[in-house]
């Protein structure tokens, strides 16, 4: 399981003309599920994301969490995080878990993140072609992978 966490001033997800979810300041989390992932990986990444201190304090040091700054969470499923680009020019997606199990683990990650932080977690639309808009604050982008 892989997360790309982006510290944002704002972010939104649209499907067609519909805005599905939007947040102000907070974390946009791109979430990819790999073949072989399970609840252990979900729990490990929830523990890591909860309280992650990547927002600046008054001294300009990354010392505050999303929860500390009263930020929002927006989690978007993105199987392309598991793309293999080691051969040729076309990505391979054999490492990405297929639905319905990948959707179950995505939903579980969102539920457990909400429970762990005590904050609502907004979501993209699983399996849809989405337009993801963000204003990256900093910029700040972090990649976390769960061990098997």
Which residue is catalytic, options 55, 73, 79, 109?
A: 79
For residues 96-132, one letter each, b for 16 or more C-beta atoms within 10 angstroms of the residue's C-beta and e for the rest, the string is: bbeeeebeebbeebbebbbebbebebbbbebeeebeb
Q: What DSSP letter does each residue of 39-72 carry, written as one string?
A: HHHHHHHHHHHTT-EEEE-TTS-EEEETTTTT-E
**Residue 112 lies in domain:** 2-142
For residue 122, tell me if it sits in a domain.
yes
pLDDT band at 59 (very low <50, low <70, confident <90, very high): very high
How confident is the model over 34-55, as pLDDT tens digits?
A: 999 999 999 999 999 999 999 9
State the CATH number of the domain containing residue 42.
3.50.80.10
How many domains does the chain fold into? Answer: 1
Mean pLDDT estimate for the chain:
97
147 is catalytic: no
6 is catalytic: no
pLDDT band at 148 (very low <50, low <70, confident <90, very high): confident
The overall pTM is greater than 0.75: yes
50 is catalytic: no
How confident is the model over 12-25, as pLDDT tens digits?
A: 999 999 999 999 99
């Amino acid at each position: 399981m892989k997360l790309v966490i982006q510290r944002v001033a704002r972010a939104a997800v649209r499907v067609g003309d519909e805005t599905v979810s939007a947040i102000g300041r907070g974390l946009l989390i791109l979430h990819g599920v790999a073949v072989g992932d399970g609840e252990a990986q979900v729990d490990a990444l929830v523990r890591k994301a909860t309280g992650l201190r990547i927002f600046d304090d008054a001294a300009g040091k990354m010392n505050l969490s999303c929860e500390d700054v009263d930020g929002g969470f927006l989690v978007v499923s993105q199987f392309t995080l598991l793309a293999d680009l080691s051969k040729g020019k076309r990505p391979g997606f054999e490492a990405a878990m297929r639905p319905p199990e990948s959707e179950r683990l995505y939903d579980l990650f969102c539920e457990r993140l909400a429970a762990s932080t005590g904050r609502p977690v907004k979501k993209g639309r699983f399996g849809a072609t989405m337009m993801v808009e963000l204003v990256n604050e900093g910029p700040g982008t972090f990649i976390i992978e769960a061990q098997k």
